[in-house]
Structure 1
Amino acid sequence: MEQLLQVGVIIQTHGVRGEVKVFPTTDDAARFKKLKHVMLDTGKETLPLEIESVKFFKQFVILKFKGFDNINDIERYKRCPLLIERENAVPLEEGEYFIADMIGMKVITDEGENFGILKDVMETGANDVYVIEHPSEGEVLVPAIKECILDVDIENRQMKIHVMNGLI
């Protein structure tokens, strides 16, 4: 299981005092109010950052980090992900999973046949849709509904699905 989970991505600077505009990749953007620290993934290293202030603007979160007081200090971190440690993650409800734990999971049918590998999760308005790389059909989109998704076993990295008529 992943020990660092992504909660957002810095998309651009905000003003000249070192604030950044963050696109949240978490279901609950308000969780940033409770966060005291995040990890910045620069691609070369992971830097711990202390959150000094949090504001909201439309669908974005405006963050100010301690020690970054002007635009020049923070500008080089555009497009960098913000991560948290798993122990700081929001507790999951029954039947909820972190996407990072699901990607790469083996997918089998209720008949025991190999269906493919989970490549991505698309979040739509009604329900999530799983993108599964099928061995012969290519990408197959499977709705994350109880009629299709029978079991998700995070520890064994396996998902069991029912293939509904018309799915492939």
Structure 2
Amino acid sequence: MRVDDCYQLGYVIKTHGLKGEIQIFLDVDDPYDYQDLESVFVKQGNTLVPFFLEYIQVNPRKSITKFEDVNALEDAEKLVGCELHLPLDNLPPLEDGEYYFHQLVGLMLLDEGKEIGIVDSVYEIAPQNLISLTHMGHEVMIPINDEIILSVDFDQKLIHANLPEGLIDVYLEDNEN
């Protein structure tokens, strides 16, 4: 399994107890969607390693789980800070007009029909999620919200946007100095 074929479910916060249990943060809209989780991929270096769960106790802020064959505090400590991943086909289905942020990468962003750039990445940073793209050789960050991102056309690989006046200019002016 490759990282590109997966989405990040969350990460290991810290150990819990002395018998290999860990606290995890599920970085998802509804953690309770994952209360029947049977396995995850743990990113170790650049490799995804499969782990089966003995159990999981889901809570909104942190959940407690126990992986099979992780039976000691020392084994659990090695997992602290590791990312947890699941295959993309595990994502819950969305309503029409909705999208997952990772689906925006690689799409061309249009502002009133004018090509601005291809989305390089998406940053999920509170309080504002951002699209990152390159325009005229400069990185431009665009907020993801319903007033700016009007629609996404996956068939045409386009994001239709209504950018605030002067947003692009700010990035170009800052980089000229």
Q: How high is the TM-score relative to the length of structure 1?
A: 0.80
| 2:70 matches 1:68 | yes
Give the CA deviation at 1:104. 4.5
Give the CA deviation at 1:157. 4.1
Identity level (%): 24
SS of the equivalent of 1:68 reads coil
Amino acid at match of 2:88: R
Which protein is bigger by CA-based radius of gyration?
2
Give the CA deviation at 1:90. 1.4
CA distance in 1, matches of 2:88, 2:144: 27
Matches within 5 A, 1:36-51: 36-51=38-53
Kept in 1: contact 2:105–2:118 (CA 8 A): no
CA distance in 1, matches of 2:13, 2:98: 27
SS of the equivalent of 1:73 reads helix
CA distance in 2, matches of 1:131, 1:60: 27
The RMSD of aligned alpha carbons is 2.5
Give the CA deviation at 1:58. 6.1
CA distance in 1, matches of 2:9, 2:68: 19
* Cα 1:81–1:154 shift into 2, 3 Å: farther
**Structure 1: gaps spanning 5 or more residues:** none
**Structure 2: gaps spanning 5 or more residues:** 169-177
Kept in 2: contact 1:8–1:81 (CA 8 A): yes
Write the deviation string for residues 27-46 of structure 1: whole angstroms up to 9, x where unpaired.
Answer: 11112212111111112422
CA distance in 2, matches of 1:85, 1:97: 16
Amino acid at match of 2:23: K
Query: What number of residue pairs does the alignment pair up?
Result: 164
* Cα 1:154–1:41 shift into 2, 3 Å: farther
Q: How high is the TM-score relative to the length of structure 2?
A: 0.76
Write the deviation string for residues 78-121 of structure 1: whole angstroms up to 9, x where unpaired.
Answer: 22111112222212222222222223433221232324535324
